[in-house]
Amino acid sequence: MHPVLKLVSQRLALGILLLFSASVLIFVGTQILPGDVAQSILGQSATPEALANLRAELGLNDPPMTRYFNWLYAALHGDLGTALTNGQDIATSMGRRLGNTLFLAFWAAVISVPLAIFLGLLAVRYRDRWPDKLISGVTLASISIPEFLIGYLVVYFVAVKLGWFSSVAMINDGMSLLEKLNAIALPVFVLVLVVLAHMMRMTRAAILNVMQSAYIETAELKGLSSFNVIFRHAFPNAISPIVNVVMLNLAYLVVGVVVVEVVFVYPGMGQYLVDHVAKRDVPVVQACGLVFAGVYIGLNMIADIVSILANPRLRHPK
């Protein structure tokens, strides 16, 4: 088998194994949560008979192994169950919320990825000079501050004091694209600050590593400009680690937006998860955890495959 096909197959198999392991952890984690699901649904005044009937109806009396495989089998067939608190189909409710989260993550990525690559190239071009130090200092400061604090500071100064944008990022299907972009401006700004530093510094480090190669010295001796050496010779050969860090941050934009969505009351997956954790709605928590795990593992798997395909030594073995 060709080395590339072999490595890609291994990554796919590892991704499936990791997703299965994540499903086990999610199920076990929700089962050991304190409290009683039936009690939280019926309230403290429920009779023992009513609680026993509801537990039997929800299958809570079945062995944990049976409940896990029933849940996994249904999830693999697209049935994520029904929310205990409102009786709504979880897949339908989650579909709308996931769409909102992807919309937010998309626009954050559209801004942060090109900006991070540009700043990384700029930092390499002016290495160890004031532009490099300024870019590194500002980005390090932004990544050092907790995102919830950045969010509240942005709300206070930009939304409350200046009144430029609303502090509540509410969107709906009846809004135009411009109205939606205006609504999500502040959470997008916070997310860009959070992920920008990591991508920029990895871009800078990857290009600087390539700049030590012999062919880069040859290009410089030929009299090529610094811009051509960096952009046309060093950057293409640093794509692999850059793609990896970009994919990791894209995964964070989808999976790690819980805090930002809560701060700005954004109707996405994070807010949906937090609302139902408070209500101890176990099927919703399990479904959200499984979707988040699938997105994170899937994007990391894509990053691995792209890195493999970008490696010429694997594409053209001797």
| Alpha-carbon dihedral angle through residues 205, 209, 215, 217, given to the nearest 10 degrees | 80
Domain span holding position 124: 90-315
Q: Is residue 263 part of a domain?
A: yes
Full-model pTM: 0.77
- pLDDT tier, 77 (very low <50, low <70, confident <90, very high otherwise): confident
- Tell me the C-alpha distance between 216 and 41, whole Å: 66
| Longest CA pairwise span in the chain (Å) | 87
**Poorest-confidence range of 12-26, 38-52, 113-127?**
38-52
Q: Would 138 be classed as within a structural domain?
A: yes
Residue 218 lies in a domain: yes
pLDDT tens-digit readout, 99-120: 888 888 888 888 888 888 888 8
User: 82 or 39: whose pLDDT is higher?
Assistant: 82
213-268 pLDDT, tens digit per residue, is 776 677 666 776 676 677 666 776 677 777 777 777 877 777 777 788 888 888 88
Name the band, by pLDDT with cuts 50, 70 and 90, for residue 35. Answer: low
**pLDDT tens per residue, range 149-176:** 888 888 888 888 887 888 887 887 778 8
Q: Give the confidence band of 44 by pLDDT, cuts at 50, 70, 90.
A: low
Residue 45, in any domain of the structure? no
Q: Is residue 78 part of a domain?
A: no
Query: Has residue 27 got a pLDDT over 60?
Result: yes
Residue 129 sits in a domain of what CATH number? 1.10.3720.10
Share of the chain above pLDDT 90, in %: 0
Q: What is the dihedral of CA 99, 104, 107, 112, to 10 degrees?
A: -130
Evaluate whether residue 247 is within a structural domain: yes
| 119, part of any domain | yes
Q: Is 148 among the domain residues?
A: yes
Distance between CA atoms of 312 and 123, rounded to whole angstroms?
27
Q: How far apart are CA 8 and CA 277, in angstroms?
A: 37
Q: Where are the alpha helices (DSSP H) in the chain?
A: 3-31, 37-42, 48-58, 64-76, 90-125, 130-144, 147-154, 177-183, 185-210, 214-221, 226-228, 235-237, 239-255, 258-263, 269-278, 282-309, 312-315
DSSP annotation of 98 reads: H
Percent of the chain with pLDDT over 70: 83
Domains in the chain: how many in total? 1
